[in-house]
């Protein structure tokens, strides 16, 4: 496998953000966001420039450690020049405003997007700068406080725990805390006219009234999914799991930290899209709790989530995992090295299907008695952390007690 990495043009390794504090005021009709962000960060060496990612919004002012700072803002990069270089702990305060819109990318437009009656954020992989200044790389995980004020007629959901709600006239402020370290792309905001449907302890759906009954059926087996995924991978890593079903159609569902977002077109009352339900749920372990250190390791997200589909199929009375593996071995291409697919193929079907085939082959090589404890110990050892392909290979070899590096080279190459 190649040892290259790629940043998708975002993020810096010169510092780490420990915490984001976001104060957002959003007016739906004009799609107008007025905001203040305070980033608490750490630099191991002296920094005279602090590069942040922020796209499509106007910066009104910046302070570093309380002092006004010079800055330039172009091409989605906010470069802050503090009055004196920083080292160790420091804070950056950014005041900004504008009409948030998705970030254009080779994977389409991603980030903050208007709905017919509301708004959503779906940021994978580079959409987070559409609504807040950040160090936009998956390996820089931080905690968050997000306070969002908008019209009281709307429900607001942000990835995190709701800790306060203050109604004042026609507007309501919702305050959420994300206590687990979280990558910027996994932070999400959902605004809409939603009803809440409880599925079980810590599980609920935010859904338009017209889709309530269909969603109750389509997601009805999710509590059982969570139970069996917990048996395979270990305890669910967050306090709550919220599914948001928008009134609009979406191309694909998307995961966020402790949340998944589905379009109204993914709900039909017949469980047609149940494989996507388990796929997004599996991402709470693989992608969200265990987050890739860099994008070249993306198969660790998508291969595991796809293999969870096959495992659930077998556990719920559908086709066994071996049948799915046999089908995809005959169908999927082999020209993309999924262990390092490159930017152009980051979300290629091969990354998903051959990633799952890699895990199925590993399972066949070591046997179930080793494979599933291996997965549970992998998750337990990296909960709320970052992971790489090399670390997973080393973990698999330790758990199995046999050399596996050459096998992985074949599967991932």
Q: What is the pLDDT of residue 5?
A: 63
pLDDT in tens, 44-55: 999 999 999 999
Judge if pTM exceeds 0.85: yes
pLDDT in tens, 69-124: 999 999 999 999 999 999 999 999 999 999 999 999 988 999 999 999 999 999 99
317, pLDDT greater than 90: yes
> Residues 110, 331, 277, 184: what is their CA dihedral angle, to the nearest 10 degrees?
-30
Q: What is the pLDDT of residue 2?
A: 41
Q: What percent of the chain has pLDDT over 70?
A: 99
Secondary structure percentages of the chain, helix, strand, coil, to 5: 30, 35, 35
Alpha carbon distances (Å) from 37 to 64, 93, 94, 138, 409: 12, 6, 5, 19, 43
| Nearest CA among 279, 287, 270, 289 for reference residue 243 | 279
| Nearest CA among 100, 87, 95 for reference residue 50 | 87
| Nearest CA among 263, 291, 134, 142 for reference residue 192 | 263
The confidence band for 1, taking pLDDT boundaries of 50, 70 and 90, is very low
Domains of the chain with CATH codes:
16-188 (2.60.40.1730), 195-282 (3.30.2010.30), 291-412 (1.10.390.10)
pLDDT in tens, 232-283: 999 999 999 999 999 999 999 999 999 999 999 999 999 999 999 999 999 9
Q: How many CA atoms lie within 13 A of 157 on its CB side?
A: 27
Place of tokens 């739906």: 28
Q: What is the pLDDT of residue 168?
A: 86
pLDDT in tens, 220-238: 999 999 999 999 999 999 9
Whether residue 354 contacts residue 303, with contact meaning beta carbons closer than 8 Å, is answered with: yes
Whether residue 298 contacts residue 346, with contact meaning beta carbons closer than 8 Å, is answered with: yes
């Amino acid at each position: 496998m190649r040892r290259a990495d790629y940043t998708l043009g975002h993020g810096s390794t010169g510092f780490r953000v420990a915490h984001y504090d976001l104060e957002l005021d959003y007016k739906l009709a004009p799609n107008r966001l007025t905001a203040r962000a305070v980033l608490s960060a750490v630099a191991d060496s002296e920094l005279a420039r602090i590069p942040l990612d922020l796209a499509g919004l106007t910066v009104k002012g910046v302070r570093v450690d309380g002092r006004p700072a010079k800055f330039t803002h172009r091409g989605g990069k906010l470069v802050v020049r503090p009055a004196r270089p920083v080292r160790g702990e420091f804070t950056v305060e950014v005041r900004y405003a504008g009409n948030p819109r998705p970030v254009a990318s080779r994977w389409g437009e991603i980030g903050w997007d208007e709905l017919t009656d509301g708004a959503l954020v779906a940021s994978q992989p580079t959409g987070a700068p559409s609504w807040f200044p950040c160090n936009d790389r998956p390996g820089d995980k931080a905690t968050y406080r997000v306070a969002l004020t908008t019209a009281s007629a709307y429900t607001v959901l942000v990835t995190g725990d709701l800790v306060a709600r203050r109604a004042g006239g026609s507007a309501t402020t919702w305050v959420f805390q994300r206590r687990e370290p979280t990558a910027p792309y996994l932070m999400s905001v959902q605004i809409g006219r939603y009803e809440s449907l409880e599925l079980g302890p810590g599980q609920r759906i935010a859904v338009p009234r017209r889709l309530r009954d269909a969603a109750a059926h389509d997601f009805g087996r999710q509590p059982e999914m969570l139970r069996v995924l917990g048996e395979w991978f270990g305890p669910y890593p967050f306090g709550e799991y919220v599914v948001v079903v928008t009134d609009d159609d979406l191309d694909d569902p998307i995961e966020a930290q402790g949340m998944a977002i589905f379009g109204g077109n993914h709900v039909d009352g017949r469980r047609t899209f149940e494989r996507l339900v388990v796929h997004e749920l599996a991402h709470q372990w693989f992608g969200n709790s265990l987050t890739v250190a860099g994008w070249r390791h993306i198969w660790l997200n998508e291969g595991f989530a796809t293999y969870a589909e096959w495992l659930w199929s077998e556990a719920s009375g559908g086709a066994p995992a071996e049948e799915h593996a046999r089908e995809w071995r005959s169908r999927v291409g082999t020209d993309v090295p999924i262990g390092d697919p490159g930017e152009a193929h980051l979300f290629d079907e091969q990354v998903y299907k051959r990633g799952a085939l890699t895990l199925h082959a590993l399972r066949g090589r070591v046997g179930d008695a080793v494979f599933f404890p291996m997965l549970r110990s992998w998750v337990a050892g990296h909960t709320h952390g970052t992971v790489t392909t090399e670390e997973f290979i080393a973990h698999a070899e330790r758990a199995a007690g046999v050399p596996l590096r050459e096998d992985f080279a074949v599967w991932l190459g």
